[in-house]
Amino acid sequence: MEHQDYQQLLIPHSLDALEPSDVHAIEAHLETCAECRAELTALRNDVGLLAHAAKPAEPGPQVRARILDAVRAERQENRDGTAVTGRVVPMKPRANWNVWTIGLRLAAGVAFVALLIEIVVLWRHEVKLRQDVAQLERQLNTQQHELARDRDALARQRELVALLNSPNGRKLEMAGAQTAQNARGSFVYDQKSGKAVFLADGLPATPADKAYELWFIPKGRSPVPGRLFTVDASGHALLPEQIPADALDSFVIAITLEPKKGSTAPTSAIYLSTPSS
Amino acid sequence: MQAEPSQIADNDLLRAVARGDESALAAIYDRYRLILFGLILRILNDRQDAEDVLQETFLQVWRRAGDFDEARGRAFTWLVTIARSRALDRLRAAGSRARRAEEAAQEPADEIGDAALDALNAEKSAIVRKALAELTDEQRKVLLLAYFEGLTQTEIAERLGDPLGTVKTRMRSGLIRLRELLAHAN
């Protein structure tokens, strides 16, 4: 290329608009051509004025402080003897949070916290509901149990009234023995059918591993086991019974305290009994 | 537009910076931050990126002030060249040229007007804009694409769909005309 050809490249070169191959060519020429170097300098001064074509804008107020902080840090390192050449001063961590991203992150954070709170509230609500349901079930069971017990008691009382009104009805009084002096009881029965109802009051509370056992003691024979039962808090019991057929003529009734599953023969002292006949 | 009163001061400030005077760097920042940030923002169209590049620019000024040779150009040209180069590097690294292409020949909305500039810079801005307005649309577009988008002549031809020869002619005639207008304004 001739000198004039290179001159043609100076204008696009001043705008950095040449292709790389032409850049290499003009740079090589500039090494040796003072005239072109001067012309390029003048061109670049004018091209630099195009910066004024952009409207001026105010950077954030923190930028100035960031720059001066970085400069001071760099100078301090130089004083400390750190090598400078080729060293890159780390930029302050870029606050990559403009108003929108801060807003979005804040909103996401708030939503997340709200969601967590909602989950906790729902969870606690559910736990409370489950507790309430369990409580209601327990109450229902208790009430059903009490109702069943009352029905039984009512049925026994009706039975008792029926036995007392029956022409074949008989009643035996029972007294507490040495072990349960406050206890007393009644044994009401139909002397033909053997159907009976047993009432007791004032018996000591039943230990957890024990049960009271009713015995029929026919005259001259070994005791025949009857019902097992427990008493309520006031030592009360009311239960139906059936007198063994071979004991209907003559018998004594006694109550002993036995292991929970019952015994085939009495193992404890008598708590309550009818008088010996 | 050659021997402005501030020109000497700019050179002196850069010499002071080269000696490690951080107050001189702060003075240069105070004097040119609006123009340099406006330039970088025009190129990047992103305030956060532009602030990062402005910081990089002044750190480079701090480290390389000793390289500044007033015989090879004005201090303002040196500052603007650093800011523009770094902004274009960032633009290319971001790979977002295409996205910003349409904004190239347009003036994006900025926060402040020339009123915030000192009298000298405000006058320069007015002269440059007036001179640009005197060019044909085609000439102006080619110059602004090269300057604010860093496009080569070949890339401008592709962008505009014009023959490469036409782009070269417009760039040449446009810059020659611009220089005449600027010289005349002085």
Domain boundaries, chain B: 1-95, 110-186
Task: Choose the final residue of a domain: A165, A187, A216.
Answer: A165
The whole-angstrom separation of Cα B129 and Cα B107 is 11
Write b or e for each residue in A121-152: b if 16 or more Cβ atoms lie within 10 A of its Cβ, otherwise e: eeeeeeeeeeeeeeeeeeeeeeeeeeeeeeee
Task: Report yes or no on A58 lying in a domain.
Answer: no
- Asked if B152 and A8 come within 8 Å (Cβ–Cβ), the reply is no
Looking at the domain B1-95, which fold is it?
Rna Polymerase Sigma Factor; Chain: A (1.10.1740)
Say if CB B41 and CB A54 are below 8 A apart. Answer: yes
Q: What are phi and psi of A248, to 5 degrees?
A: -60, -30
Q: How far is A81 from chain B (nearest CA, A)?
A: 15
In a domain, A173, yes or no: yes
Helix (H) or strand (E) holding A131: helix A99-165
Q: What is the CB-side half-sphere exposure of residue A130 using CA atoms within 13 A?
A: 6
Number of residues in chain A:
277
Q: Which of B122, B114, B76, B60 shows the shortest CA–CA distance to A46?
A: B76
Query: Does residue A35 belong to any structural domain of this protein?
Result: yes
Given this model, what pLDDT does residue B35 score? 95
What range does the domain containing A36 cover?
1-50
B110-186 folds as: Arc Repressor Mutant, subunit A (1.10.10)
Residue A161 within a domain: yes
Same-domain status, A120 and A153: yes
Establish if A72 belongs to a structural domain: no
Subunit contact B76:A48, Cβ cutoff 8 A: yes
Residue B177: count of CB within 10 angstroms of its CB: 17
**Is residue B113 within 8 Å of residue B172, measured between CB atoms?**
no
- Return all residues near B52 (Cβ < 8 A) that are at least 6 apart: A91, A94, B90
Q: Which of A44, A67, A99 to substitute to test the interface with B, most B CBs within 10 Å?
A: A67
* B1-95 and B110-186: identical CATH topology: no
User: From CA A103, how far away is CA A96, in angstroms rounded?
Assistant: 13
CB A231, CB A206: distance < 8 Å: yes
Can you tell me the distance from the alpha carbon of A205 to that of A51, in angstroms, rounded to the nearest whole number? Answer: 105
Closest-CA distance, A110 to chain B, in angstroms, reads 25
- Is the pLDDT at B66 greater than 90? The verdict is yes
The tokens describing B121, both together, are 């810079």
A165, A196, A215: which is the final residue of a domain?
A: A165
pLDDT at B106 over 60: no
Amino acid A66: pLDDT: 95
3-state secondary structure of A209: coil
Whether the CB-CB separation of B56 and A91 falls below 8 Å is answered with yes
Q: Which residue has the tokens 């009234």?
A: A161
Residue with tokens 């690294």: B93
- How is residue B135 written in tokens? 């060019």
At residue B49, the pLDDT reads 93
Q: What are the start-end ranges of the H helices in B19-118?
A: 22-44, 47-64, 75-94, 97-100
Report the phi/psi class of residue B23: left, alpha or beta, with left for phi > 0 and alpha for psi in -120 to 50. Answer: alpha
Task: Single out the residue of B56, B28, B75 nearest to residue A67, CA to CA.
Answer: B56
Closest CA to B141 of B106, B111, B172: B106
Per-residue pLDDT of chain A (277 residues; tens, 9 = 90+): 788 889 899 999 999 999 999 999 999 999 999 999 999 999 999 999 999 999 899 999 999 999 999 999 888 887 776 544 444 444 545 555 567 777 888 888 888 888 888 888 888 888 888 889 988 998 988 898 888 878 887 888 888 888 888 888 888 899 998 888 889 999 998 888 888 999 999 999 999 899 999 998 888 888 888 889 999 888 888 888 888 887 777 788 999 999 988 998 999 999 999 987 5
d(CA B7, CA B78): 12
- The per-residue pLDDT for A82 is 53
Give the lowest-confidence range in B39-53, B68-82, B98-112: B98-112
Window 1-30 of B, Cβ < 8 Å to A = 1, 20, 22, 25-26, 29-30
Instruction: Please state which of the ranges A119-133, B92-106, B165-179 shows the lowest mean pLDDT.
Output: B92-106
**Domain's final residue, options A142, A165, A188:** A165
Domain annotation covers residue A234? yes
Phi, psi of A228 (to 5 degrees): -95, 140
Supply φ then ψ for residue A2, to 5 degrees. Answer: -90, 170
Helix (H, G, I), strand (E, B) or coil at A172: strand
Looking at residue B109, its pLDDT comes to: 46
* Pairs of residues, one from chain A and one from chain B, whose beta carbons lie less than 8 Å apart: 175
Q: What is the pLDDT of residue B14?
A: 95
Instruction: Test A56 with B121 for CB contact under 8 angstroms.
Output: yes
As a dihedral over the C-alpha atoms of residue A66, residue A71, residue A74, residue A79, rounded to 10 degrees, the angle is: -140
Q: Which of B110, B1, B92 is nearest to B45 (CA)?
A: B110
Model-level pTM? 0.55
Give the torsion sign (CA, A113, A116, A122, A124): negative
Q: Is residue A67 part of a domain?
A: no
Q: At residue A87, what is the residue type? A: R
* CATH code where residue A235 lies: 2.60.40
Contact state of B116 with A52 under an 8 Å Cβ cutoff: no
Whether residue A49 and residue B143 make contact (CB cut-off 8 A), yes or no, is no
The token pair at A261 is 């599953």
- Per the CB < 8 A criterion, the answer to whether A274 and A173 are in contact is yes
Query: Please, are residues B96 and B103 in contact by the beta-carbon 8 Å criterion?
Result: no
Enumerate residues 131 to 160 of chain B having a beta carbon within 8 A of any beta carbon in chain A.
132, 143-144, 146-148, 150-154, 156
Domain count, chain A: 3
* Separation of CA A151 from chain center: 40
Q: Which residue has the higher pLDDT, A131 or B97?
A: A131
